[in-house]
Amino acid sequence: MASFADILLPVPIPRLFTYEVTAEHVDKAEAGRRVIVPFGQKKVLTGVIVQTHGTKPENYEAREILDVLDDQPVIVDQQLQLIQWMASYYMCTPGEVLNAALPSGLKLSSKSMVQKHPDFDPDDGNHTYSDSEWKVVEALEEKEHLSYDEISQITGVKNIYHLIKSLSAKGAILIFEQLIEKYKPKKERRVRLQASLENDLLALEALFQKLEKKEKQLELVMKYLREVPVNELKERNQLGLSKGEFLSTGLSTSSLGTLVKNGVFEEFDKVISRFGEPKKKEAVIPELTSLQEEKLSEIHGLFEKKSTVLLHGVTGSGKTEIYIRLLQQVLDEGAQALYLLPEIALTAQILRRLKKVFGDKIGIYHSKYSDNERVEVWNGVLSGRFPIVVGVRSSVFLPFNNLSLIIIDEEHESSYKQYDPAPRYHARDTAIMLGQIHHAKILLGSATPSVESYYNAVYEKYGLVALETRFGEVQMPETALIDLKDERKKKRMHGDLSPGLLQAIEQTLEENKQVILFQNRRGYAPYLHCEDCAHIPKCANCSVSLTYHMYRQELLCHYCGFREPLPSHCEACGSAKIKTIGFGTEKLEDDLKVLLPTGRISRMDYDTTRTRSTYEQLIENFENGEIDVLVGTQMITKGLDFDHVELVGILDIDRIIHFPDFRSHERAFQMMTQVSGRAGRRSNNGKVIIQTNNPEQPVFHLVRTNDYKRFYQMEILERESFHYPPFVRMIRVLFRNQDKQLVWETANHYLKSIQTSLGGHRILGPQEPLIARIRNQYHQEITIKLEKGGISIPKAKEFLTQKMEELQQDKIFRQTSVIFDVDPQ
């Protein structure tokens, strides 16, 4: 009987594909294992078996699976459920979710290779060959096939496509695709005694005699036998010693070579973990305070009745300590836990705290890890090596099969939402679904919960636990406002710094304490401005101005990466009077260096933290007191725990408050409260200074009095009256095309097709978004608001998708790309 398998492929087509499983693969074909299948004319893809069955597909001839890659499933059933849910909730295809879920190390890639044409005869006189061509032909006599890179090396030609095309046209070579497994296990070179010696004491003795005069070789053998006593423990020799470590004490490499040649030692490779071998943990958990203890048991109590609990604890109250207790319990039960963080910047510090307690039981998963490392974490979750995973949003995709707790730290963070590409998912909401699939408990934690989560807590969908005092009864910092209008009028500003803030910085440094300054714009100046004609240099591809980066002497587009050298004259009128307007982190750092010549100033933003180690280094230097003032973007606002920061300055909050978006007040409140929370965590001297043009804004009062509840009450009223989440679900439909007119027409055509059935009052737009052109693509968007209880949201999504499919059947409209963004942030 023929056998078939339904395969999930990483392509944006909303269905599974049925392939035939031939006899040789039948034993290995099982749900959750990866397979290689042919797809389309020439492509080969890695997919995952969802199920096997005996039903031949009706309307097409099933093609055969080429190979089954795994000896056991690498995707578990719960993941397949999550993928299905995400696809339907976030209005994309399961294939797109799979593509995001699998680390690229688990996807195969194909690589073009070249071999000699079997009928090729170089002497047939039909063609002549260049020197480079000859080199390739000769190399193919030696080696069966060559990669493009090898050919480039052999010939010294950089761009070899021309060469390959010509050789192929002359019938000299064939090109084929070789499948490459991207994941490469890490190997270690080791040495051991030849097996014949490990059992034979006489032979060993004879060896000693032979080596009597060869001091260096003798030394090697002796050292080896000291480390590996083969006469007591024969099996130990199999494992050998790491060659590097063995030789690191200054033994002679060449003598080892001789001994290998003479059959005394042998070298071999062993696959090792990239994360080191498991070590014993240090087991030091600080005692919880009685208040924290009380809150922990409240959480336990609520978990009896509810799957999700929100822990609203002020900054520095010890939420992390409570998380550690909960993780410990999961570990004791032998189950799995996931600890989600919104950003990489946070992982280093929290990991250090967790590692002290859990040692190597923690797997870390984020984008600054290499493909290979990610595959090892993936496999470590499968094998049980990492019962706890700390990671950013993509760690919801890991192959958990026994998850009992998910902690979502800083749950309010908008960086939990993936904007591009699909799936455009919110990791908090996805993790809550993941928890439900596993019947796990979910703890959301924040000092400034999102309005949505707090609403769910108020209406008892979630349990709520409030922790209102800081650890050690340390007081919340004191907050002062500085009116920039006033200071400007009196012409007292030093660049972007008011005299009040500057003075406070100086005083803090005098007391040997540290300062954090929050400036949410990176670069030197947001834009250049010609004083004669008012021209502002703009990006060639996007409708935004270019940001001036002084260090690189460049103008840079923060949307598409377009860059150009700093102009000396205005490109519009030729005037040399070009001025910088506004302030970025780079300028602030620069100004401070002049104003505080003895202060040690550093900057943490996207530009200074390209690699994992630069983050960690900056944070470590700040912790160790090697930096006095840390200037940074939102990266430095939350979660970080420093003992000696006493002053926090907030320089650029007006722009966030006035950003035209329904979440702007929420964001401003959260950012100010979070960054303030970095001040005075160990002392009662925390100070926060906020510079603003509008000190009368109510949000400042709420931040100063740390009054989250009042903030929530004001905000929820607004959300209700203006129909925003949590009262409605929003779906944004984004249209993109190079042709401005066509995008507009497509969006309008779509609008017409949904208007009547959905009801015009539920639809806004089409309109140009704030930035109407990015990377040469014009944008239009339609916003749909679906009120809860009034309309079936899943049905509405189906309807929207169906209408989109109809739209895309039109040859013209199809040229516009369309994106659904569910729950846009």
Ligand X SMILES: Nc1ncnc2c1ncn2[C@@H]1O[C@H](COP(=O)(O)OP(=O)(O)OP(=O)(O)O)[C@@H](O)[C@H]1O
Annotated binding-site members for Zn(2+): 530, 533, 539, 542, 557, 560, 570, 573
Can residue 536 be called a binding residue for Zn ion (CB under 5 A)?
A: no
Paired tokens of 512: 């040997």
Give CA–CA dist 678/710, Å, rounded. 22
Nearby residues of 231 by Cβ (< 8 Å), 6 or more positions away: 201
Describe the crossing of helices 253-261 and 215-227 by its angle, rounded to 10 degrees: 80
CB of 448 to ligand X, least distance (A): 9
Binding partner of residue 289 among Zn ion, ligand X, none, CB under 5 to 8 Å per kind? ligand X
Give CA–CA dist 91/96, Å, rounded. 10
Give CA–CA dist 788/728, Å, rounded. 6
**Contact yes or no for 341/392 (Cβ under 8 A):** yes
Binding partner of residue 562 among ligand X, Zn ion, none, CB under 5 to 8 Å per kind? Zn ion
Nearby residues of 701 by Cβ (< 8 Å), 6 or more positions away: 707
Binding partner of residue 542 among Zn ion, ligand X, none, CB under 5 to 8 Å per kind? Zn ion
Identify which of residues 316 and 391 has a Cβ nearer to ligand X in the complex.
Answer: 316
Region of 775 (left: φ > 0; alpha: ψ -120 to 50; beta: rest) is left
Binding partner of residue 479 among ligand X, Zn ion, none, CB under 5 to 8 Å per kind? none
Give the binding site for ligand X (CB under 6 A). 286-289, 292, 313, 315-321, 447, 471, 639, 641, 677, 681
CB of 374 to ligand X, least distance (A): 26
Paired tokens of 458: 């108020």
**Contact yes or no for 631/588 (Cβ under 8 A):** yes
Identify which of residues 139 and 474 has a Cβ nearer to ligand X in the complex.
Answer: 474
Identify which of residues 204 and 560 has a Cβ nearer to Zn ion in the complex.
Answer: 560
Can residue 562 be called a binding residue for Zn ion (CB under 5 A)?
A: yes
Identify which of residues 28 and 356 has a Cβ nearer to ligand X in the complex.
Answer: 356
Identify which of residues 535 and 558 has a Cβ nearer to Zn ion in the complex.
Answer: 558
Binding partner of residue 539 among Zn ion, ligand X, none, CB under 5 to 8 Å per kind? Zn ion
Give CA–CA dist 86/427, Å, rounded. 11
Question: What is the dihedral sign for C-alpha 425, 426, 432, 435?
Answer: positive
Q: Regarding beta strands 3-8 and 34-39, do their DSSP bridges make them parallel or antiparallel, or are they unpaired?
A: unpaired
Preceding omega of 387 cis (within 30 degrees of 0): no
Q: Regarding beta strands 173-181 and 108-116, do their DSSP bridges make them parallel or antiparallel, or are they unpaired?
A: antiparallel
Of residues 79, 62, 70, the one with CA closest to residue 17: 62
Binding partner of residue 541 among ligand X, Zn ion, none, CB under 5 to 8 Å per kind? Zn ion
What is the length of the chain? 825
The DSSP element (H or E) to which 383 belongs, if any, is helix 371-383
Binding partner of residue 321 among Zn ion, ligand X, none, CB under 5 to 8 Å per kind? ligand X
CB of 313 to ligand X, least distance (A): 5
Can residue 560 be called a binding residue for Zn ion (CB under 5 A)?
A: yes
Query: Which range touches Zn ion (CB under 5 A), out of 277-285, 308-316, 519-527, 550-558?
Result: 550-558
Can residue 174 be called a binding residue for Zn ion (CB under 5 A)?
A: no
Binding partner of residue 423 among Zn ion, ligand X, none, CB under 5 to 8 Å per kind? none
CB of 562 to Zn ion, least distance (A): 4
Can residue 539 be called a binding residue for Zn ion (CB under 5 A)?
A: yes
Identify which of residues 295 and 361 has a Cβ nearer to ligand X in the complex.
Answer: 295
Identify which of residues 39 and 562 has a Cβ nearer to Zn ion in the complex.
Answer: 562
Identify which of residues 673 and 691 has a Cβ nearer to ligand X in the complex.
Answer: 673
CB of 775 to Zn ion, least distance (A): 6
Nearby residues of 615 by Cβ (< 8 Å), 6 or more positions away: 344, 345, 348, 368, 604, 609
Can residue 148 be called a binding residue for Zn ion (CB under 5 A)?
A: no
Identify which of residues 639 and 725 has a Cβ nearer to ligand X in the complex.
Answer: 639
CB of 714 to ligand X, least distance (A): 22
Give CA–CA dist 598/587, Å, rounded. 18
Identify which of residues 316 and 725 has a Cβ nearer to ligand X in the complex.
Answer: 316
Quickly tell me which residue has 């001040």 as its tokens.
679
Give CA–CA dist 311/309, Å, rounded. 6
Query: Which range touches Zn ion (CB under 5 A), out of 8-16, 93-101, 463-471, 531-539?
Result: 531-539
Identify which of residues 116 and 428 has a Cβ nearer to ligand X in the complex.
Answer: 428
Nearby residues of 34 by Cβ (< 8 Å), 6 or more positions away: 46, 47, 48, 49, 68, 69, 70, 74, 75, 106
Binding partner of residue 444 among Zn ion, ligand X, none, CB under 5 to 8 Å per kind? none
**Contact yes or no for 38/62 (Cβ under 8 A):** no
**Contact yes or no for 243/189 (Cβ under 8 A):** yes
Contact pattern from residue 484 through residue 523 relative to Zn ion, giving x for each residue in contact according to CB under 5 A and a dash for the rest: ----------------------------------------
- Alpha helices in 450-494, H assignment, sequence order: 451-458, 484-489
CB of 817 to Zn ion, least distance (A): 18
3-state secondary structure of 218: helix
> Contacts with Zn ion: how many residues (CB under 5 A)?
7
**Contact yes or no for 466/673 (Cβ under 8 A):** no
CB of 353 to ligand X, least distance (A): 7
Can residue 559 be called a binding residue for Zn ion (CB under 5 A)?
A: yes
CB of 681 to ligand X, least distance (A): 6
Query: Which range touches Zn ion (CB under 5 A), out of 286-294, 331-339, 549-557, 604-612?
Result: 549-557
Can residue 699 be called a binding residue for Zn ion (CB under 5 A)?
A: no
Give CA–CA dist 499/491, Å, rounded. 10
The DSSP element (H or E) to which 19 belongs, if any, is strand 17-21
Question: In the structure, how many helices (H) and strands (E) does the chain have?
Answer: 27, 34
CA 48 to chain centre: 23
| E strand intervals along 318-416 | 336-340, 362-365, 388-391, 403-409
Can residue 772 be called a binding residue for Zn ion (CB under 5 A)?
A: no
Binding partner of residue 557 among ligand X, Zn ion, none, CB under 5 to 8 Å per kind? Zn ion
Query: Which range touches Zn ion (CB under 5 A), out of 278-286, 426-434, 461-469, 558-566?
Result: 558-566
Can residue 799 be called a binding residue for Zn ion (CB under 5 A)?
A: no
Identify which of residues 34 and 412 has a Cβ nearer to ligand X in the complex.
Answer: 412
Identify which of residues 705 and 776 has a Cβ nearer to Zn ion in the complex.
Answer: 776
Binding partner of residue 99 among Zn ion, ligand X, none, CB under 5 to 8 Å per kind? none
Which of 51, 273, 414, 541 is the binder for Zn ion (CB under 5 A)?
541
Can residue 557 be called a binding residue for Zn ion (CB under 5 A)?
A: yes
Query: Which range touches Zn ion (CB under 5 A), out of 533-541, 612-620, 688-696, 781-789?
Result: 533-541
Binding partner of residue 559 among ligand X, Zn ion, none, CB under 5 to 8 Å per kind? Zn ion
CB of 565 to Zn ion, least distance (A): 16
3-state secondary structure of 182: coil
Binding partner of residue 401 among Zn ion, ligand X, none, CB under 5 to 8 Å per kind? none
Terminal Cα-to-Cα distance of the chain (whole angstroms): 52
Paired tokens of 471: 């650890």
Give CA–CA dist 402/382, Å, rounded. 10
Identify which of residues 308 and 777 has a Cβ nearer to Zn ion in the complex.
Answer: 777
Q: Which residues are annotated as a binding site?
A: 530, 533, 539, 542, 557, 560, 570, 573
Which of 389, 542, 631, 635 is the binder for Zn ion (CB under 5 A)?
542
Give CA–CA dist 191/70, Å, rounded. 30
Binding partner of residue 677 among Zn ion, ligand X, none, CB under 5 to 8 Å per kind? ligand X
Paired tokens of 260: 């290998």
**Contact yes or no for 269/190 (Cβ under 8 A):** yes
CB of 678 to ligand X, least distance (A): 7
By the criterion CB under 5 A, which residues form the site for Zn ion? 539, 541-542, 557, 559-560, 562
